[in-house]
Each structure stands twice: as C-alpha cells, then as structure tokens.
Amino acid sequence: MINKILIWIFKRYKLNIVISELNREDNIKNCNRAVTNNGAEFFSETVVHNLQNNPKKIRIGKGTLVMGMLYIFKYGGEIEIGDYCYVGDQTRIWSGDSIKIGNSVFISHNVNIMDTNSHEINSLERDNSYKKYLEYGIANDKGNIEISPIIIEDHVWVGFNSIILKGVRIGEGAIIAAGSVITKDVPAYTIVGGNPAEIIKHIENEREKN
C-alpha cells in the first residue's frame, strides 16, 4: 500500500512539473509574439499586454532579462528597452505615450513606471469613461487623459518599490533609492530618494576616466 501511494505521488508530482513547463513555454512564446525581441529573455512570470497588437511598439535589446510586466494601451504608447537591462519581478511598465529605457539599466522588483495618468482629472469624465468601459470594453482613444514620455538613460539603477511618473528624464548613471517617487527630472550621476525624490548626493562618473 505504501509503495502504491509513493508511486502515485511521484507520478502526480512529475505530471505537475510537465504541466508547469508547458505553461512556461507557452507564456514565453506569447511574450515573444507580442514584442520585437532582439535577444531578450522572458520567464514564466513575465507578462506582456500589447493592446495595439503591434510588436514594433515594444522593442527589447539583446542580453535583457524581463521578469515583470510590459503594458501598452490601446489608444497609444510604446516601450523601448535597450541592451543588457534587467526588469525585476512584479515591476510594471505602463505606456500610453512613450517610455524609452537605455542600455545597462537595472530596474529592481515592484517598480512602477507610468507615462500616463491612466484616468481623467475631471471626475465626471472619469465616471463616464468607466461606464463606457463596462459597456464597450477598452477605449481606442485616450480622451482627456494626460500623457507625457519618460526617458531613462544608460546605466541607471532603480531601487525596489520606486515609482517613476510621466514626463521625467532620468540622467545617465543616476541611482533611484528604494521607495522613491520620481516626479521631476533626475540629473546624471546623482543619487535621489524620498517622496517626492530629492538629490541626496552627486556620485563620481567613473566612465569619464576611461
């Protein structure tokens, strides 16, 4: 009896592994179909929502690992991620305009990067948009939602739980401390932190020596 139970557990465990692997492979295939992949790697936890169904609107470079979520709205948006970047687990990059991330950018887990307000400022417009969504689904136009592009330059490091809001440019080599909220431009080779984030210190640009 014990042997039969052990055999049953083994077979079930092995079946779960096979199913898990098939689901992982399907998810990676779906991610690759939704983007222009120039050598990036996806994982079982990666999520890509390309509501425009245009792979050219999400472009990812070689040596980049994406574990988080990439999302472009139906009404617009595009995401470009350069070479040798890292997008951490549970990080969400949402675009209704344009998000451009340079090379060798490290984005930790639970980061939110969003170039759109996602909803209207006017409460009546918000209510009407939600009711239209319930009746007709996702809108094809943004209406009065405010959007503005985000640019993250090369060699930036974004700490976990940070938030980067629309219309900002983060300069080369900058470091965003964990839990920061970025509402304005960040100069190159500075460490910023807080809510809203402020400059903590300037750091040396080692690349100028080479």
CATH number for the domain harbouring residue 128: 2.160.10.10
Give Cα 165 distance to the centre of its chain: 13
What tens digit of pLDDT does each residue of 13-37 get? 665 655 566 667 888 898 999 999 9
Average per-residue pLDDT for the chain: 91
User: Is there a catalytic annotation at residue 202?
Assistant: no
Q: Which residue in 49, 109, 119, 202 is the catalytic one?
A: 119
- Full strand arrangement of the beta sheet holding 163-164: 47-50, 69-72, 92-95, 112-114, 163-164, 181-182
Q: Is 35 a domain residue? A: yes
Distances, alpha carbon 135 to alpha carbons 56, 76, 117, 131, 172, in Å: 30, 21, 22, 6, 45
Q: Is 193 a domain residue? A: yes
Q: Is 68 a domain residue? A: yes
Q: Is 139 a domain residue? A: yes
What tens digit of pLDDT does each residue of 79-102 get? 999 999 999 999 999 999 999 999
pTM: 0.88
Q: Is 209 a domain residue? A: no
Question: How crowded is residue 132: how many other Cβ atoms within 10 Å of its Cβ?
Answer: 13
CA distance 5 to 164: 53
- Domain housing 120: 2-202
End-to-end CA distance of the chain, in Å? 70
User: Total structural domains in the chain?
Assistant: 1
Tokens of 7: 């055999």
